[in-house]
């Protein structure tokens, strides 16, 4: 039984941090200094749980940027990334945000395209990983 909790960094930090350390710092070798930033404290966070186990996370910044989307390796390929992104998108709609944008790792372009994001511009390097900007209008459709 999966459940998504959302809230502030203060509320969700232990669980979100656990997932991001595993995926970004250990798996992808992103330096810790690049993973943690001042945006965490002012972002809206989402954590997906399998029972009580945190297994996926994402954050939504005040500037409509979605970031730090991560699913633990053992849980990938089961649609859980889509599940947490649907929660982010629903929250953005409730807040009547006009659009969402994100910096996607190039290998994840099709994942985000399936959700309605469109590539903007050219790929660039971020922490040694090719990224590309993507954007999606938010409408009243559910």
Q: Quick one: pLDDT at residue 1?
A: 86
- How far is the C-alpha of 57 from the C-alpha of 49, rounded, in Å? 9
Q: What percent of the chain is modeled with pLDDT above 90?
A: 95
Percent of the chain whose predicted confidence (pLDDT) is above 70 = 97
The string of pLDDT tens digits covering residues 52-64 is: 999 999 999 999 9
Q: How much is the CA Rg of the chain, to the nearest whole Å?
A: 14
Backbone φ/ψ region at 51: left (φ over 0), alpha (ψ -120 to 50), beta: left
Number of residues that make up the chain: 142
């Amino acid at each position: 039984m999966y459940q998504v909790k959302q809230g502030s960094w203060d509320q969700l930090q232990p669980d979100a941090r656990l997932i991001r350390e595993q995926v970004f710092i250990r798996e992808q070798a992103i330096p810790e200094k690049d993973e943690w930033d001042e945006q965490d404290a002012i972002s809206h966070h989402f954590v997906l749980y399998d029972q009580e186990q945190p297994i996926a996370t994402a954050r939504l910044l005040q500037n409509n940027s979605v970031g730090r989307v991560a699913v633990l390796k053992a849980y990938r390929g089961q649609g859980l990334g889509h599940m947490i992104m649907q929660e982010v998108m629903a929250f953005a709609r409730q807040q009547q945000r006009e659009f969402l944008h994100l910096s996607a790792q190039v290998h994840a372009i099709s994942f985000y395209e399936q959700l309605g994001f469109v590539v903007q511009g050219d790929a660039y390097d971020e922490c040694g990983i090719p990224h590309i900007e993507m954007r999606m209008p938010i409408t009243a459709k559910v």
